[in-house]
Amino acid sequence: MPLASPGPASAEISEYRLELKVDFDAGRWLGRVEFEPRGPSRTLDLDSVGLEIRTATVGGRAVDFRLDATEGRLSLPIVGAGETVTIEFAGAVHPGQLIGLYRCRHGEGHLLTAQCEPVGARRIFPCLDRPDRKARIRLRVRTASGLEVVSNTREESATAAGGDLVDHAFPPTPPMATYLFYLGIGRFDRVEAEEGRVAVRVLTPPGRGAAGAYAAASARRILAGFEEYFGIPYPLPKLDLLAVADHAFGAMENWGAITFRDSRLLVETDSESFARRDVFETTAHEIAHQWFGNLVTMETWDDVWLNESFASLMETRLSQRLIPELDPLSDYFLRVSGALAAFDGDSLGSTHPVRAHVARPEEISQIFDEISYGKGCAILGMLEAYLGPERFRRGVSTYLDRFRYANARTEDLWEALGEAGGEPIAAMANPWIDRPGHPVIDAALDGATLRLRQRRYSTLPGAGEEAPWPIPLVLDVDGAPRRTLFTGRELDLEVPRSATVHLNPGAVGFYRVRYEGVLFDRLLGALADRPVTDRFALASDYGSFLFSGDAPWSDYVRLLRALEGANDLLVVDTVTRTLQTLAWLLADAPAVQDEARRYVAERLAAVGLRQRPGEALGTGILRERLASARVRLDEGFARELAELYAEWPRLDPDLRPAVAVARARTGGVAGWNDLRRGLRSSLTEGDAIAFDRGLAWSGTPEQVLATLELIPAGTIPRGHIGVIVAQTAANPAGRTVVWPWLERHLDGIDETFRGSGQLSTLVERLVPLVGLDRPREVRSYFDAHPYPEAIRGLRKGLERLAIYERLRSRHAELFR
């Protein structure tokens, strides 16, 4: 369904008085909203999608309204300024969708819960649904007794309204963007914790309260940490964290009422180590938004990168301070939409600038991607390093204070950072966010001259010359750092003839480096003694060069030898991903197959399959990654590992995902049935994910198909659909069945993902996987079926497909 465009709206509304009568079981509501608009317009255009408008009055007089359902616009004639507008309307949850007010599984029962970002508020009540139209919302909800109602502010009163109904009243929110509105109705268990003036609650499905304890304790530490960092107190008296089983995203920062997908909030006592870090970081990310995003909001969606990148940076910095033992820096690089993914996506011609212009609502969700999160975050990190962390912090704090309860643009942050740093930074910062792509530096040593040259990095040949980037360059020469701003195309620096040089130590800069001749040799020799981030930078850059053709396979193999013995999650995971992709792509390149199997087997042997007493906390994450990779790469290993399935309830949670895949790959029909049963009875989302991913890795086409059929049957949780489909497409046993199935079901998946941007991600992942076997069919399908919500993903997927095709066609010469 098309949505109203975020075009100009001249009117302003400072407060909505909103009353909703909600039929919890039927998922319907009758609503009434009242406000006094300000502004010059003679007509008032409101955003309203999927609502039935019953009456509209202005100053008590009924008026003729026009509802443009295609554009989602409700137009009213306005007579006098300051008159009260009253609109009565009706709405209903849309089965299957995860935006607006929707129904979601919740223990044995259900929950009604809201997701408004980016454009869901207009599906709950008619409003000016744009980030620069901040308003207070004063909410009253009438619903059946025995239900709890949660919103942005703390419930003020609950009074019987006769006939088993209760009226819940909430004090007005602070002035805020409508995309931050929250309403949740249901029955909850809870954990409560006070942090100074702030009442923190974790609300869970009945019976799971205890699993909220870790998040509650973390949230208190995080709130205190940010109050100190920003120098501004959290402005509400309460903060609720809600576990929501069906969630279009991982979590959502509604002011005072943050929602999370279960697995990103709840931690069982035996949860995998990954779960704890993920919960902490997700909580930190969303709490950071309470200031950056909620208190100060981007003026238009074009600046959404700033919102998300900043929260991502804060999530990492605070985690580095408060949970260093869980290795948050690795996650900064490796997470979905982290820096590694950002480099990867930004190497494509179809990338977009960090600051991207969005014209239509269906485009908004599509830019919540690795560029807006990961690249933007890396650029902010680069600026932080350039200014120094304390000046950066002061700039941020000034910005937040200056624009509180209002809107700001990227330029406003640059200005505040410039003031704090004592020099303007826009000229240095803007090229990084306004230009697509990033540079690669070619480094060569000529006697005592280090010659650096920069160009745009690209995985497909044919990129033209582009203006150089202003690179805040840090280089390590024989262990001593040097800094300079590299603004031209070339730069010569004097160094000792025998120097070992590493550019970009700490992997702080958003650029790649290719070393020539002796520079590469010397660096390989010194690698073992350098910090893990430096080994990572090489592993990441040289892995990527295999796809761009900037370095040969033989260089990569030399690098692998130099990395032998390194068991850091960051390095091992990076290498494993590269080898996994290559091995999948080049099934008949023995050199690649051998290297991939050997690397993963050796690293896993070093970690061990079983936990060892006293091992570092992050080891479990490494074990999970390696076991999961090896079980996919190596069927013999899968057969061995499958035996552990019998131990499931006692099994180390870090090993469960790999064991489920092993059972599916090698267990035949009995294996499939085991996992299906497991999925049905799994109590935690972690287990459910292990089971449904396992099912995606079944050993025969018939079983893979049976797994896919669980999607329309409603057995696969909606939030897992994207991953499951992508996993079946990566599974060699799925080769013949996945694409024909998709041709019949993509329309339905599109419907389920409406408004969430997930279709774009899915198409991006799928196209190179399924397209390699049948490029023409896949291309012509998407020609005939353009999905507006997947335009970006399709473009990127097709480009990756072209890269893979080129590599595959040349593998005999390239990978010997």
Complex with ligand BES: residue 368 or 697, whichever CB lies closer: 368
Complex with ligand BES: residue 313 or 519, whichever CB lies closer: 313
Q: Is 541 in the site for ligand BES (CB under 6 A)?
A: no
Complex with ligand BES: residue 676 or 796, whichever CB lies closer: 796
Q: Is 297 in the site for ligand BES (CB under 6 A)?
A: no
Q: Is 366 in the site for ligand BES (CB under 6 A)?
A: no
Q: Is 289 in the site for ligand BES (CB under 6 A)?
A: yes
CB neighbours of residue 95 within 10 Å: 9
What tokens were used for 380?
A: 């902010």
Q: Is 251 in the site for ligand BES (CB under 6 A)?
A: yes
CB of 620 to ligand BES, least distance (A): 20
Q: Is 267 in the site for ligand BES (CB under 6 A)?
A: no
What tokens were used for 141?
A: 């909800």
Complex with ligand BES: residue 249 or 255, whichever CB lies closer: 249
How far is the C-alpha of 190 from the C-alpha of 211, rounded, in Å? 9
CB of 305 to ligand BES, least distance (A): 11
| Nearest residue to the partner Zn ion, using Cβ | 311
Q: Is 719 in the site for ligand BES (CB under 6 A)?
A: no
Q: Is 367 in the site for ligand BES (CB under 6 A)?
A: no
Complex with ligand BES: residue 305 or 804, whichever CB lies closer: 305
Catalytic residue among 19, 286, 595, 685: 286
DSSP code at position 736: T
What tokens were used for 35?
A: 């406000």
CB of 756 to ligand BES, least distance (A): 7
Per-position b or e across 216-244, b if 16+ CB within 10 A of its CB: bebbbbbbebbbebbeeebebebbbbbbb
CB of 98 to ligand BES, least distance (A): 10
Q: Is 252 in the site for ligand BES (CB under 6 A)?
A: yes
Whether 305 and 354 have beta carbons less than 8 Å apart is answered as yes
Among 151, 351, 365, 758, binds ligand BES (CB under 6 A): 365
Q: Is 308 in the site for ligand BES (CB under 6 A)?
A: yes
CB of 612 to Zn ion, least distance (A): 36
Complex with ligand BES: residue 240 or 286, whichever CB lies closer: 286
Among 253, 384, 692, 750, binds ligand BES (CB under 6 A): 253
Q: Is 799 in the site for ligand BES (CB under 6 A)?
A: no
Whether 468 and 478 have beta carbons less than 8 Å apart is answered as no
How far is the C-alpha of 662 from the C-alpha of 697, rounded, in Å? 8
Q: Is 515 in the site for ligand BES (CB under 6 A)?
A: no
Whether 242 and 205 have beta carbons less than 8 Å apart is answered as no
Backbone angles phi, psi at 464, to 5 degrees: -80, 180
CB of 304 to Zn ion, least distance (A): 9
How far is the C-alpha of 231 from the C-alpha of 401, rounded, in Å? 9
Letters for 118-147 (x = contact with ligand BES by CB under 6 A, - = none) are x-----------------------------
CB of 243 to ligand BES, least distance (A): 14
Q: How far is CA 775 from the centre of its chain?
A: 29
Pick one of ligand BES, Zn ion, none as the site partner of residue 58 (Cβ within 5 to 8 A by kind). none
Pick one of ligand BES, Zn ion, none as the site partner of residue 352 (Cβ within 5 to 8 A by kind). none
Q: Is 687 in the site for ligand BES (CB under 6 A)?
A: no
Residue 151's nearest CA partner among 250, 254, 223 is 254
CB of 295 to ligand BES, least distance (A): 14
Pick one of Zn ion, ligand BES, none as the site partner of residue 19 (Cβ within 5 to 8 A by kind). none
CB neighbours of residue 479 within 10 Å: 11
Question: How many residues make up the chain in this entry?
Answer: 816
Whether 169 and 125 have beta carbons less than 8 Å apart is answered as no
Q: Is 285 in the site for ligand BES (CB under 6 A)?
A: yes
DSSP code at position 212: G
Q: Is 117 in the site for ligand BES (CB under 6 A)?
A: yes
* Angular region, 362: left φ>0, alpha ψ -120 to 50, beta rest: alpha
How far is the C-alpha of 405 from the C-alpha of 135, rounded, in Å? 10
Residues that bind Zn ion (CB under 5 A): 308, 311
Q: How far is CA 270 from the centre of its chain?
A: 25
Q: Is 331 in the site for ligand BES (CB under 6 A)?
A: no
Contacts of 795-800 with C-beta under 8 Å, sequence gap 24+, read: 795/350, 796/345, 796/348, 796/350, 796/351, 796/764, 797/763, 797/764, 797/765, 797/766, 797/767, 797/768, 797/771, 798/350, 798/767, 798/771, 799/348, 799/349, 799/350, 799/460, 800/348, 800/764, 800/767, 800/768
Among 16, 230, 234, 249, binds ligand BES (CB under 6 A): 249
CB of 219 to ligand BES, least distance (A): 14
**Is 286 one of the annotated active-site residues of the chain?**
yes
Q: Is 250 in the site for ligand BES (CB under 6 A)?
A: yes
Complex with ligand BES: residue 282 or 454, whichever CB lies closer: 282
Backbone angles phi, psi at 695, to 5 degrees: -55, -35
**Which residues are near ligand BES by CB under 6 A?**
117-118, 249-253, 282, 285-286, 289, 308, 311, 365, 368, 757
The catalytic residue positions are: 286
